[in-house]
A = this chain, B = another copy of it.
Amino acid sequence: MNLFKTAEKAHKGDHFDLDAALDAIKFNANGLVPAIAQQYDSGEVLMMAWMNPESIRETLATGRVCYWSRSRQQYWRKGESSGQIQQLKEMRIDCDGDTLLLLVDQTGPACHTGRKSCFYNIIRNDQMEIGSDPLIDPDTLYGGK
A residues sitting closer than 8 Å to B (CB atoms) are: 4, 7-8, 10-18, 21, 34, 36, 38, 42-45, 47-48, 60, 90-97, 99, 101, 111-113, 115, 118-124, 126-133
Q: Report the bound CA distance from A91 to B125 in whole Å.
A: 11
Q: Which residue of B has the minimal Cβ distance to A132?
A: B12
Contacting pair A128 B38 (CB below 8 A) = no
Q: How many copies of this chain sit in the oligomeric assembly?
A: 2
Q: Which residues of B contact A42 (CB under 8 A)?
A: 43
Minimum distance in angstroms from A48 CB to a CB of chain B: 5
Q: Report the bound CA distance from A51 to B32 in whole Å.
A: 19
Among A7, A18, A92, A124, find the residue whose CB has the most chain B CB atoms closer than 10 A: A92
Q: Report the bound CA distance from A71 to B7 in whole Å.
A: 20
Minimum distance in angstroms from A135 CB to a CB of chain B: 12
Q: Which residue of B has the minimal Cβ distance to A70?
A: B98
Q: Report the bound CA distance from A60 to B124 in whole Å.
A: 10
Minimum distance in angstroms from A57 CB to a CB of chain B: 11
Contacting pair B11 A130 (CB below 8 A) = yes
Q: Which residues of B contact A36 (CB under 8 A)?
A: 36, 45, 48
With A15-B127, A44-B43, A130-B12 known as contacts, the answer to whether A92 contacts B119 (CB < 8 A) is: yes
Task: Choose from B48, B97, B122, B128 the contact partner of A34 (Cβ within 8 Å).
Answer: B48
